[in-house]
Amino acid sequence: MKILVTGATGYIGKRLIPLLLNDSHTIICPVRDKKRAENYYKEQKNIALFEADFLNIESLKNIPKDIDAAYYLIHSMSNSAKEFHVLEEKCAFNFKRFAESTSIKQVIYLSGITNDTKLSKHLLSRKNVENTLASKKYALTTFKAGIIVGSGSSSFEIIRDLVEKLPAMIAPKWLNTKTQPLAIRDVLSFLHKALAKKELYNTSYDIFGPEILTYKEMLLQFAAVRKLKRSILTVPVMTAKLSSYWLYFVTSTSYKLASSLVNSMGVEVIGKKSNINQILDINPMSYKKAVQLAFNKIEQNSIISSWKDSYISSGKLKNYVDEFINVPKYGCFRDFKKRNVKDKERALNRIWAIGGETGWYYGTFLWKIRGFFDQIFGGAGLRRGRRHPTELNAGDALDFWRVIYADKEKGKLLLYAEMILPGEAWLEFKIEKGILYQTATFRPRGLAGRLYWYAVMPFHWFVFNGMINNINK
For CA atoms 4, 6, 10, 13, give the dihedral sign: negative
Domain boundary among 308, 331, 347: 308
The answer to whether the beta carbons of residues 344 and 411 sit under 8 Å apart is: yes
Enumerate residues 6+ apart whose C-beta is below 8 A from 177.
214, 215, 265, 266, 267, 268, 269
Question: Is 191 among the domain residues?
Answer: yes
What's the mean pLDDT in 324-351? Answer: 90
Q: Per residue in 317-329, pLDDT tens?
A: 454 455 677 888 8
Domain membership of residue 234 as a residue range = 2-308
Same-domain check for residues 263 and 365: no
Question: Is 63 among the domain residues?
Answer: yes
Same-domain check for residues 304 and 372: no
Same-domain check for residues 79 and 124: yes
- Full-model pTM: 0.75
pLDDT averaged over every residue in the chain:
85
What's the mean pLDDT in 339-359? Answer: 92
Same-domain check for residues 103 and 227: yes
Cβ neighbours around 274 below 10 Å, total = 13
Please state the domain count of the chain. Answer: 2
Q: Per residue in 273-302, pLDDT tens?
A: 999 999 999 999 999 999 998 888 776 655
Same-domain check for residues 297 and 327: no
Domain boundary among 273, 308, 343: 308
Question: Is 315 among the domain residues?
Answer: no
Question: Is 292 among the domain residues?
Answer: yes
Stronger pLDDT, 262 or 387, i.e. the higher one: 387
Domain boundary among 250, 276, 308: 308
The answer to whether the beta carbons of residues 218 and 176 sit under 8 Å apart is: no
Same-domain check for residues 291 and 343: no
What is residue 78's predicted lDDT score, i.e. its pLDDT?
45
Same-domain check for residues 406 and 300: no
What is residue 118's predicted lDDT score, i.e. its pLDDT?
63
What is residue 335's predicted lDDT score, i.e. its pLDDT?
93
Same-domain check for residues 345 and 263: no
Question: Is 314 among the domain residues?
Answer: no
Secondary structure of residue 378 in the 3-state scheme: coil
Question: Is 276 among the domain residues?
Answer: yes
Same-domain check for residues 293 and 326: no
| The 203-207 sheet, strands edge to edge | 47-51, 26-31, 2-5, 69-72, 106-112, 139-145, 203-207
Q: Per residue in 351-373, pLDDT tens?
A: 999 998 899 999 888 898 888 88
Question: Is 215 among the domain residues?
Answer: yes
Residue of 417, 419, 416, 415 lying closest to 377 (CA atoms)? 419
Secondary structure of residue 229 in the 3-state scheme: coil
Stronger pLDDT, 4 or 404, i.e. the higher one: 4
Enumerate residues 6+ apart whose C-beta is below 8 A from 72.
6, 7, 92, 95, 107, 108, 109, 110, 133
Give the CATH number, domain containing residue 403: 3.30.530
Stronger pLDDT, 37 or 17, i.e. the higher one: 17
Q: Per residue in 111-164, pLDDT tens?
A: 888 766 665 566 677 778 888 899 999 999 999 998 889 887 777 878 888 888
Same-domain check for residues 205 and 339: no
Same-domain check for residues 406 and 301: no
Q: Per residue in 218-267, pLDDT tens?
A: 999 999 998 999 998 888 766 666 767 677 777 766 666 666 666 666 67
Give the CATH number, domain containing residue 191: 3.40.50.720
Task: For strands 231-235 and 333-340, give the pairing.
Answer: unpaired
Same-domain check for residues 72 and 205: yes
Write the DSSP string, 283-338: -PPPHHHHHHHHHHHHHTT-----GGGSGGGGSS----GGGGSS---TT-EEEEEE
Stronger pLDDT, 253 or 408, i.e. the higher one: 408
Question: What CA–CA distance (Å, rounded) separates 137 from 100?
Answer: 6
Show the CA angle centred on residue 26, arms to residues 23 and 30, nearest 5°: 130
